[in-house]
Chains A and B, each alone.
Chain A
Amino acid sequence: MSIRLDEASPAKAKPAGLRPVWFAGGIVAVLVAVVAGLALGPVSLPPGSVAAELLNLLPGVRIHSGLNDREVAIVTQLRLPRVVLGLLVGGMLAMAGAAYQGVFRNPLADPHLLGVAAGAGLGVTAVIATRTATGDATSNLPIGVPLAAFLGAIGAVALTWILGATGGRSRTPATLILAGVAVSAFLAAAQTFLMQRHVDTLREVYSWLLGRLATAGWHDVLLVLPYAAVTGAIVLSQRRELDVLTVGDEEATSLGLHPQRSRYLLLIAASLGTAAAVSVSGLIGFVGIIVPHTLRLLAGASYRAILPLSVLFGGAFLTLTDLVARTVAGPAEIPIGVVTAFLGAPFFVLVLRTNRSVSP
């Protein structure tokens, strides 16, 4: 567990919340990630020029960046949509992970462990697999993909919720995670079955499955933006409720809260966000655990800090991870889901070891 140095401080304690220094840190992290994401790659550009070119996107700003037309096109047309999508997807996955952890009162809850991602994955696979093969993995995703992903995600989380209480036992974080594992396995099997039945689109589905920001264009950004806005607004509106939920349902009720109402609202919103993220970027695991958990250790246990910071640091994290994915084995790209899994699996073990009790 973390040890806070300010514990013995005689200074007057302040209520938990988003500290300005952390918020500023989050903004800096995002800016660093954006400039690095735009500057580095097969063609490396000076960060200062890239920053100037970014400012030029603002109305009324005209700075000479020193980049030629081709380099400007690389920054604004090739790399920028990818970076923006990374920010959106990373922010949503991290925020959804934090929300799930609060709803289930379990630090290991994650869209992937609850079957949500698998459900969304099945939904997307169903749409891609059954449409006419284009043979081109870079073509735009059909507009119905986020909706199919959302239906899959909600179906999966509902199934996990129901199975988590089978046999008359009450739902505990442990039974929910076990149910989530079972649901994930089932949905993954259904997905594999679908893929086998539609071999013509196998390549397309597979490239999407491994997680990709590579094909990102503004189309994907626009597709996911409304979902991100709705998810963000709902989840952030419930940040104080999530803090109250940490004392358990009965005590939260005695404090005047409707725990189930908050929980359902958060589940739906987080699943919507996860579904939207999965539908454009494939299955990118562990972001929802790594980011909120690190923030919990560093910035405090309050969801009023964790949720907004998860959006910022989650976005920065995924953008930087994507940078690693596309440069480390250059010119080839490693699927980003592989990179997050390489980082995430050991981290997961670390969380397990440092949490004396996984079910608080």
Chain B
Amino acid sequence: MTAPEPRVAVGVRGLTVRLGGNLIVDRMDLDVIEGEWVTIIGPNGAGKSTALRAIGGLLPFDGRIDLNGTPVDRVPRRERAKTVATVAQTPVVPPGMHVLDYVLLGRTPYIRPLGRESRSDLAAVDDVLNELDLERLAGRRLDTLSGGERQRVFLARALAQGARITLLDEPTSALDIGHQQEVLELVDRLRAERGLTVLATMHDLSVAGEYADRLVLLAGGRVVAAGTPREVLTEDLLATHYRVKVRVIDGEQGPLVVPVRG
């Protein structure tokens, strides 16, 4: 007996994205195994968000993107929304919308045209609100919540989609370090409990390395390094691609990256 082949949740081959005639992502390859957490890092303009949006089926692209073995551009939208959930970098906060209704939007792919939320949709949302400790906020307006609370609500909507693949675009960019950690710990717990596959983009390299199983370093739209945090977060690689002098210190959970003055 051999161990079962690990399933590739996200398979990317030769992904190329052009926006307004500019080449943003250039022949990117990437495999994310089911249950894995992979974070794409790279300097501003490297194409991190663009790659993530293409993988979520939100941008036209060349090349091939498979989600659970099926090409993303051949799956009907509703089916795709049940497979992959995206949390945008700065999600739109609809004025006046309550938390419960916002999280219920995550059930959209399960609601037939002309239909309305079923009991199971409401139950799924209750479940998510409960799990993310948001029940207390369910009747609050989203535009009255703090940044950390909002980020939890954004995650809740993605979870309500019931998709096993979660794409997080800079999930902590607007949060202080306390809330940053809280949100990432939450994602990690959900990954374990719900068997989620997480593909994220992140700016904070130390934090990225602490949570991800593997890192992918993108520069100028191309993958220039990929591997475990220890393999990718090296002083040489970072100096080359971020054009900055850094010290990499060995931390308990992974390498810690500290920029130092030239």
Residues on A facing B (Cβ under 8 Å): 1-2, 4, 6-17, 237, 240, 243-244, 246-248, 250-251, 253-258, 296, 300-302, 360
Taking A16-B97, A246-B92, A360-B94 as known contacts, 18 extra A-B pairs with beta carbons closer than 8 A to each other, sorted by chain A number, are A1-B96, A4-B141, A8-B140, A12-B138, A13-B138, A17-B116, A240-B116, A243-B105, A247-B94, A248-B92, A250-B58, A251-B86, A253-B77, A254-B86, A257-B108, A258-B77, A300-B96, A302-B97
CB of B111 within 8 Å of the partner chain: yes
Q: Closest chain B residue to A302 by CB distance?
A: B101
B101/A243 in contact, CB under 8 A: yes
**Contacting pair B106 A360 (CB below 8 A):** no
Specify the main secondary structure of chain A where it touches its partner.
loop
6 A-B pairs closest in CB distance: A301-B96, A256-B81, A13-B139, A256-B109, A246-B94, A13-B138
CA distance A248 to B99 in the complex (A): 17
When each residue 67-91 of chain B gets 1 if its CB lies under 8 Å from chain A and 0 otherwise, what string results?
0000000000111111011101001
Closest Cβ of chain B to A101, distance in Å, is 11
Contact present for A301 and B97 (CB under 8 Å):
yes
Q: Beyond A15-B122, A240-B111, is A2–B57 a contact (Cβ under 8 Å)?
A: no
* Residue B98 CB within 8 A of the other chain: yes
8 A-B interface contacts by CB (under 8 A) = A7-B141, A12-B138, A250-B58, A256-B78, A256-B79, A256-B81, A301-B94, A302-B101
Q: What is the CB-to-nearest-CB distance from A297 to chain B, in angstroms, rounded to a whole number?
A: 9
Which A residue's beta carbon lies closest to that of B88? A251
A6 to B, closest residue via Cβ: B139
The reply on B231 being an interface residue by CB < 8 A is no
- In the complex, how many angstroms separate the beta carbon of B44 from the nearest chain A beta carbon? 20
CB-nearest residue of chain A to B76: A256
Q: Is B100 an interface residue (CB 8 A)?
A: yes
Residue in B82, B84, B108, B114 whose Cβ sees the most chain A Cβ within 10 Å: B108
Proximity bits, B130-144, A CB within 8 Å = 1, else 0: 000000101111001
CB distance from A299 to the nearest CB of B (A): 11
| Chain B 204-261 residues near chain A, CB threshold 8 A | none
- Chain B residue numbers with a CB within 8 Å of A248 are 92
Beta-carbon contacts under 8 Å, B158-177 to A = 161
**Distance, CA A253 to CA B105, complexed state (A):** 12
Give the shortest distance, in Å, between A169 (CB) and chain B (any CB): 12
Select one of B53, B92, B101, B106 contacting A16, CB under 8 A: B101
Contacting B88 at CB < 8 Å: which of A4, A13, A243, A250? Answer: A250
In this assembly, does B62 line the interface, its C-beta being within 8 Å of a C-beta of chain A?
A: no
Closest to A301 in B: B96
Contact with A along B53-67 (1 / 0, CB 8 A): 100111000000000
B91 contacts A254, C-beta separation under 8 Å: no
Instruction: Flag whether B95 is at the interface (Cβ < 8 A).
Output: yes
Task: State whether the Cβ of B17 lies closer than 8 Å to any Cβ in chain A.
Answer: no
A254 & B58 in contact (Cβ 8 Å cutoff):
yes
Tell me how many residue pairs across A and B have CB atoms closer than 8 Å. Answer: 94
Q: How long is the Cα–Cα vector from A140 to B98 in the complex, in angstroms?
A: 49
* Complex Cα spacing A52 to B20, Å: 67
Question: Does B185 belong to the interface (CB within 8 Å)?
Answer: no
Residue ID in chain B nearest A245 by CB atoms: B94
Least CB distance, A14 to chain B, in whole angstroms: 8
Measured CA separation A256–B98 after assembly (Å): 21
CB pair A16 B94 closer than 8 Å: no
Task: For B138, give the chain A residue with the smallest CB separation.
Answer: A13
Q: Contacts A247-B92, A255-B108, A301-B94: A7 and B144 contacting too (C-beta < 8 A)?
A: yes
- A15 with B117: CB separation less than 8 A: yes
In this complex, the member of B53, B56, B77, B161 whose beta carbon has the largest number of chain A beta carbons within 10 angstroms is B77
CA–CA, A124 and B91, complex, Å: 44
Contact (A247, B80) CB under 8 Å given A12-B138, A13-B98, A301-B96: no
Contact between A256 and B80, CB atoms less than 8 A apart: yes
| Complex Cα spacing A251 to B85, Å | 10
Q: Using Cβ atoms and an 8 Å threshold, which residues of chain B touch A11? A: 139
Is B9 located at the chain interface by the 8 A CB criterion?
A: no
Min CB–CB distance A211 → chain B (angstroms): 31
A9 touches B139 (CB 8 A): yes
Return A77 CB to nearest CB of chain B, in Å: 39
Residue of B nearest to A250 (CB): B58
A246 to B104, CA, bound (A): 13
Name the A residues within 8 Å of B144 (CB-CB). 7
Closest-by-CB residue of B relative to A107 is: B95
Q: How far is the CA of A2 from the CA of B116 in the complex (A)?
A: 27
Q: Mark B99-126, 1 if CB is under 8 A from A, else 0.
A: 1110011101101011011000010000
CB pair B108 A256 closer than 8 Å: yes
Residues of A within 8 A of B84 (CB): 254
Which single residue of chain A is at the shortest CB-CB distance from B161? A255
Chain B residues contacting A2 (CB-CB under 8 Å) are 96
Please give me the residue from chain A that is nearest to B84 by CB atom.
A254
| Cβ–Cβ contact B109 & A255, under 8 A | yes
Chain A residue nearest to B53 (CB atoms) is A250
In the complex, A1 Cα to B161 Cα: how many Å?
31
Which has the most chain B C-beta neighbours within 10 Å: A10, A13, A16?
A: A13
Q: Write out the residue numbers on chain B whose beta carbons fall within 8 Å of the beta carbon of A360.
A: 92, 94-95
Contact B116 A253 (CB under 8 A): no
Tell whether, in the assembled complex, residue B98 and residue A16 are in contact, meaning their CB atoms are under 8 Å apart: yes
Taking the nearest CB of chain B, how far is it from the CB of A30, in angstroms?
A: 24
